[in-house]
Structure 1
Amino acid sequence: METLDILIIGGGPIGLNCALEAQKNNLSYVIIEKGTIVNSLYNYPLYMRFFSTAEKLEIGRIPFISTAPKPGRQEALEYYQGIARQRDVNINLYEKVEKIIRQEEFFNIETTKGKYTAKNVIISTGFYDIPNMMNIQGENLPKVKHYYTEPYPYAKQKIVVVGSSNSAVDAALETYRKGAEVTMIIRHSEISKSVKYWVKPDIENRISEGSISAHFNSELMEIKEKTVIFKDEKGKINEIENDFVLAMTGYLPDFDFLRNSGIELQGECLNPLYNNETMETNIPNLYLAGVVCGGKDTHLWFIENSRIHAEMIIGDILSK
């Protein structure tokens, strides 16, 4: 069995960037990706637009040409998947890493399709695959969706949107404009400050005029077949008719996988332990890259500010 210089877990933008950096330095590598290329991006809402401009999403110094000031999901898919094709990136798709075992100077990696040996491992798995559950009665009903793709299934339906971040706001506005009756249930006292600046006035105006109903400082308590129960800011229990619940409550990294790999997790946010200058974890030659570095604080790292991780990691590997 060939011993790779690097095995990269995750074929998102940062995983691809690590592969490009490995290629540039003539290091043998493979990416193991459990879905398609940039799988999380593929599962974003169909009409999603990035907060960042195109040049801030570039990897490998390859220009990202966009027809709009803020590129959308489809343009990004074309860009990143195009890089994988043009640069002949060594990536195995629809294969999931199940176990990383450190043995002396090497790692043995077990996947759903085989086994690998590598001198170094980079975990770049993002956070989009595990929904942050509400843990309330009825959350497992078919009408509850933790992922939102497009508004058309919700036309003329009574929708509850849980949350006030970008995904929640996009879902509320898009379904409202396709004829849904939208109610937002929000734990906080206002729409999140992180909402895209060109979208925030829109949602606030729709709430102000009453087109979208919003309950701030409120909490969803129970989901039933035809209704939902929530507690409002005055502590009153309310029950309203409901057809679908869009639980835009965020997503989490796979903490069990990180723990089982030997990585220490610290504090309430379960921040992985790593060296800020090299991205190496407490396990020698095991690195983290991208948004997975933030633990529960999934707003800490983005494509634009974690692209540098690839150069940091490969530089550290070469220095050894």
Structure 2
Amino acid sequence: MELYDVLIVGGGPIGLACALEAKKNNLKYIVIEKGTVVNSLYNYPLYMTFFSTADRLEIDEIPFITTKPKPGRQDALEYYQGIARAKEINIKSYEKVINIQKSTFFQVETSKQIYSAKNVVIATGFYDIPNLMNIKGEELPKVKHYYTEPYPYAFQNIVVIGSSNSSVDAALEIYRKGGNVTMIIRNNEISKSVKYWVKPDIENRIKEGSVKAFFGAELLEVKEHSVIFKTEKGEIREIENDFVLAMTGYLPDFEFLKNIGIDLKGECQNPHYNPETMETNIDGIYLAGVVCGGKDTHLWFIENSRIHAKQIIKDIIDKQ
């Protein structure tokens, strides 16, 4: 069995950054990705525009060239997958890591085989597990936790849950394709984190009544042809409904982290790691990217976690 210096779990932007750093330092590495390269970006809404400018999304100082001020999903796919091709990154796609155990070295079991590695980097992001509402009817097929494009929802009664970027993008796109959109929002205003060029748009559409919004409200139940929710004043209302887009966020795979022995702390399930080296409570297992934040998935993103790759590889080399 081959022995790798570094096995990287996750082929997203930060996983690729770790691979490039390992390659530059002549470490024998492999990346294991359960889907396609940068799988989470592939599953983003088709017409999504990043908040960050292209230079903030660059890895390994490779220029991210785009004609637009802010890149979109397709631009990012071209950039990151292009790097994987040009740099001949050693990546196994459509292979899911099932378990990691340590004996003399780490034994990494996947859906296809077992690998042996001296060190493991977990760069799995957080886009795989929806943050459930835990209400009656959430299991109905009409409830969607992922949004890709507006066309299936044209001329339908749509409820969008939340006021984050994903919620606002979905509400505006569906409204402009003829959908009858109602937003149910726990807070008393549109999130301050919404992209600054989009926020006035949704606020004006709500103000003019093109998009209906209930602030300080809570969805209570999803039924076959309607939804029931509580208003800010405590009134119980029921409205006709064809689809619910529950843009309630996503979570890292905490069970996977716990099963391999990583300590998780507090209500937010923050994983234990050394912020200088990114090494966890298990010697030789490192965290990189969004997964470091536990439930606080807004803490880490591409532009501020690219540095993790250098921190991790430096620590591995220093130990050697």
Same fold by TM-score greater than 0.5 = yes
1:22 alignment partner in structure 2: 22
1:241 alignment partner in structure 2: 240
Amino acid at match of 2:66: S
For residues 103-146 of structure 1, what are the alpha-carbon distances to aligned partners after superposition, in whole Å with 9 as ceiling and x for unaligned? Answer: 14x10110000000100000000000000001111111111110
Alpha-carbon deviation of 1:60? 1.1
Q: Distance in 1 between matches of 2:126 and 2:191?
A: 20
**Structure 1 segment 218-237 matched on structure 2, within 5 A:** 218-237=217-236
Q: Distance in 2 between matches of 1:102 and 1:214?
A: 52
Alpha-carbon deviation of 1:268? 1.2
Q: Distance in 2 between matches of 1:206 and 1:291?
A: 32
Alpha-carbon deviation of 1:226? 0.4
Q: Distance in 1 between matches of 2:62 and 2:16?
A: 12
1:197 alignment partner in structure 2: 196
Amino acid at match of 1:33: E
Amino acid at match of 2:75: E
TM-score (structure 1 length as normaliser):
0.99
RMSD between aligned residues: 0.5
1:127 alignment partner in structure 2: 126
**Structure 1 segment 257-268 matched on structure 2, within 5 A:** 257-268=256-267
The answer for unaligned runs of 5 or more in structure 2 is none
Q: Distance in 2 between matches of 1:114 and 1:62?
A: 33
1:288 alignment partner in structure 2: 287
Q: Distance in 2 between matches of 1:67 and 1:225?
A: 45
2:157 alignment partner in structure 1: 158
Alpha-carbon deviation of 1:298? 0.5
Amino acid at match of 1:19: A
Alpha-carbon deviation of 1:267? 1.1
Aligned residues: 319
1:298 alignment partner in structure 2: 297
For residues 210-258 of structure 1, what are the alpha-carbon distances to aligned partners after superposition, in whole Å with 9 as ceiling and x for unaligned? Answer: 1111001110000011000000001110000001000000000000000
Runs of 4+ in structure 1 displaced over 4 angstroms?
none
Q: Secondary structure at the match of 1:83?
A: helix
Q: Secondary structure at the match of 2:195?
A: coil
2:278 alignment partner in structure 1: 279
Q: Secondary structure at the match of 1:256?
A: helix
1:55 alignment partner in structure 2: 55
Q: Secondary structure at the match of 2:51?
A: coil
Amino acid at match of 1:123: I
Q: Secondary structure at the match of 2:30?
A: strand
1:66 alignment partner in structure 2: 66
Q: Distance in 2 between matches of 1:263 and 1:187?
A: 33
Q: Secondary structure at the match of 1:167?
A: helix
Q: Secondary structure at the match of 1:214?
A: strand
Q: Distance in 2 between matches of 1:188 and 1:268?
A: 21
Work out whether 1:78 is the aligned partner of 2:78: yes
